[in-house]
Structure 1
């Protein structure tokens, strides 16, 4: 079965939905996964996010960190990086530049507030009541620019973001379905 990841509308059921009018940038990508035993928990989704990056995406993020450090922006290296057993995917925890801002039974919101912009990433699961083969996972990103530096920063980031997120989502779903996460 070929896994299809599609650009989609911002989910109305997302925790972030009430703030939509305030966002300068929004996108959402959706994919479907099977969970026959109904045992994939939202924390597993969060952990999968951090363990499903692509090699080329990781290299680009390393380059990004070197460049933004010159401008005094956050790189994540100044915060404690939790990994593996230590990471519970709870509100307030940090992994690199990502802080967990909210968590419900079907959504995790993570992101960062910085001097140039704030961003949030929603990992939203919608489990089908009728068919465990048609559960959806949507990754939505929102950005609020604080100043011209935020806009200037996001101009070159945006096209890569649109490539990285669908690739990560595809990897997340593959990892979740095979239960071969190695966080």
Structure 2
């Protein structure tokens, strides 16, 4: 008779939770299987009551029923991480660099979707993209400086120091112009001239995006060889920098 009662009780309790949230009875009364107040039907599902207590029924080695109450905490639903990816876009037609597009040796642009509520300060966004670069980008820049020093091309440090003496810089890039929605950095050297426009604009999804457009004009054979060599790295670095800005500015 006792075994039948234990089996019947276990069948009711095992798949259910004792209802503490809506019952007027106390937790210990509800968990006492020998109490006349125990009602195995008075239960709630895990999703219905976050204050419920789970009844864990086990038998010890002597065959005695062991009752243990475990506080139930609803499992947190994991939200998948959605990394914002940069993508290739046409060069902005309204950029101040538009007159330089004709005859350019390199002309490309990339854009990244910005999270809602981020700053509308284009300089702050440009700094997030160009000053918080990944270690591998800094390593590639050092390699570039060492190699190009052999042909008398200015290092990134030299460009930045010279520019800082004349005006503002972002990273090691001299700031050449700035408006409410666009900031241009760049430098001239004997092998090539380059310009990068960082532009903040609305997109078709009723949000905002950050665009980086690059224009390069080569002066000689060295400039063209250099550009051909670095172009694949340039595209990867620009996209990674935009994605870094989107992550850094996320609130």
TM, length-normalised to structure 2: 0.61
In the other structure, the counterpart of 2:250 is 177
Give 1:19 deviation, angstroms: 2.0
Identify the match of residue 31 of structure 1 among 112, 121, 124. 112
**In structure 1, distance between residues paired with 2:140 and 2:205:** 40
Compute the displacement of 1:94 (Å): 3.0
**Which one has the largest radius of gyration?**
2
Q: Are residues 1:20 and 2:101 paired? A: yes
Post-superposition shift, 1:164? 1.0
Is the Cα–Cα contact under 8 Å of residues 29 and 139 in structure 1 kept in the other structure? yes
More contact order relative to length (CA 8 Å, sep ≥ 6):
1
Q: Is the 8 A contact 1:101 1:109 kept in 2?
A: yes
Equivalent residue number for residue 217 of structure 2: 144
1:53–1:168 contact (8 Å) kept in structure 2: yes
Q: How many equivalent residue pairs?
A: 168
Cα 1:167–1:20 shift into 2, 3 Å: same
Correspondent of 1:167 among 240, 246, 249: 240
RMSD of aligned alpha carbons: 2.4
| CA displacement at 1:23 relative to structure 2 | 1.5
Unaligned runs of 5+ in 2: 1-81
TM-score (norm 1): 0.82
Q: Deviations over 1:32-76 (max 9, x none)?
A: 11242x643112012212323121111000010111111111113
Q: Return closer, same or farther for 1:150/1:69 CA change in 2, 3 Å cut-off.
A: same
C-alpha contact 1:80 1:94 (8 A) present in aligned 2:
yes
Provide the C-alpha distance between the structure 1 equivalents of 2:127 and 2:145, rounded to a whole number of angstroms: 22
1:120 maps to what in 2? 195
1:94 corresponding residue in structure 2: 169
Give the equivalent residue in structure 1 for 2:127. 47
Structure 2 counterpart SS, 1:78: helix
Tell me the alpha carbon deviations over residues 89-117 of structure 1, each in whole angstroms, 9 at most, x when there is no partner: xx942356411111000011001100000
- 2:185 aligns with 110
Cα gap change, 1:130 to 1:79, in 2 (>3 Å): closer
Assess if the C-alpha contact under 8 Å between 1:112 and 1:119 holds in 2: yes
Displacement of 1:129 after TM fit?
10
